């Protein structure tokens, strides 16, 4: 029987629509400058930089992202079903895209999740499994197939809400109460420590600084580059970034050889 890919194509197309809608909504949210820095004077003369979320992240945006992930995984599972049908075998509820993280795992999953799929088609599926990443020494947690499956599993029970991911390149630029450049005084003597790990949340102190002057009148009164602290928006989940389309590209790459097979069959 000829291979039909209408179902996987429709799911992929819908995922792309969701990705665009998610990106637009995320940009609208960031345009409102939802993240700011607050200066807190300390009794010991230090000034702490506290991250403050002015606006909560809208749940609707998280829901759109979840729809994208669900459609991507569904496209892969529908592909397996169509491969079984193309091999003139009856599909079952147990047919779906396997996730093989080792050769032994592949040998166990091949006759189960890909039951009814021809050996030729199964070998194509295998080329896109995390097995290849294991051979390259890459982290399996960030393989697109693992990310799609785990994110979809989490999204079934909770909203996967974006967070601020720390940027190691952040260097605060302070506004002082007077110009100290010509006096030979230290405008900023220390700025330590920076950050609180990879994930920055509301209320976290991301830096401590102080100034030194001869008569003690020099003070920090503001931060001139607060936007830099936004770093990037992520999910605190390996392999997922809203601005990245790697997950969609992965599904396209999986489907591509089968698109060529379907085109050759006419």
What does the alpha-carbon distance between residue 180 and residue 64 come to, in Å, rounded to a whole number? 50
The model carries a pTM of 0.78
The tokens of 208 are what?
């401590």
Question: Is pLDDT larger for residue 107 or for residue 216?
Answer: 107
CA 75 to chain centre: 20
Kindly report the backbone phi and psi dihedral angles of residue 209, in degrees, each rounded to the nearest multiple of 5, phi listed first. Answer: -140, 165
Short-list 158, 201, 166, 198, CA closest to 65: 158
User: pLDDT tens digits for 109-164?
Assistant: 999 999 999 999 999 999 999 987 755 566 777 888 998 998 898 888 887 776 66
Q: Which helix (H) or strand (E) holds 62?
A: helix 59-86
Short-list 114, 71, 119, CA closest to 95: 114
Q: Do residues 100 and 143 lie in contact, with contact meaning Cβ atoms separated by under 8 Å? A: no
User: pLDDT tens digits for 177-235?
Assistant: 877 665 555 555 555 555 555 566 777 777 777 777 777 777 788 776 555 454 556 66
Q: Do residues 12 and 255 lie in contact, with contact meaning Cβ atoms separated by under 8 Å? A: yes
246 pLDDT higher than 80: yes
**Number of neighbouring beta carbons within 10 Å of residue 33:** 12
């Amino acid at each position: 029987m000829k291979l039909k890919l209408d179902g996987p194509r429709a799911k992929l197309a819908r995922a792309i629509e969701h990705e665009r809608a998610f990106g637009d909504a995320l940009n609208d949210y960031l345009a409102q400058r939802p993240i700011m820095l607050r200066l807190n004077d300390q009794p010991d003369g230090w000034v702490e930089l506290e991250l403050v979320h002015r606006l909560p992240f809208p749940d609707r945006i998280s829901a759109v992202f979840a729809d994208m992930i669900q459609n991507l995984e569904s496209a892969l599972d529908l592909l397996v079903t169509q491969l079984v049908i193309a091999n003139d075998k009856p599909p079952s509820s147990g047919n779906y895209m396997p996730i093989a993280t080792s050769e032994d795992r592949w040998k166990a999953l091949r006759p189960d999740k890909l039951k009814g799929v021809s050996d030729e088609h199964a070998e194509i599926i295998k080329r896109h499994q995390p097995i290849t990443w294991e051979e390259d020494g890459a982290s399996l947690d960030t393989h697109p197939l693992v990310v799609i499956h785990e994110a979809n599993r989490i999204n079934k029970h909770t909203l996967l809400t974006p967070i601020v991911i720390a940027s190691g390149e952040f260097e605060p630029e302070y506004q002082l109460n007077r110009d100290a450049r010509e006096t030979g005084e230290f405008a900023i003597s220390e700025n330590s420590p920076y950050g609180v790990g990879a994930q920055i949340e509301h209320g976290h102190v991301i830096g401590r600084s102080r100034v030194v002057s001869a008569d003690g009148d020099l003070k920090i009164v503001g931060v001139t580059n607060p936007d830099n602290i936004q770093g990037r928006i992520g999910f605190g989940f390996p392999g997922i970034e809203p601005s990245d389309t790697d997950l969609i590209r992965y599904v396209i790459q999986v489907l591509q050889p089968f698109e060529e097979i379907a085109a050759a069959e006419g």
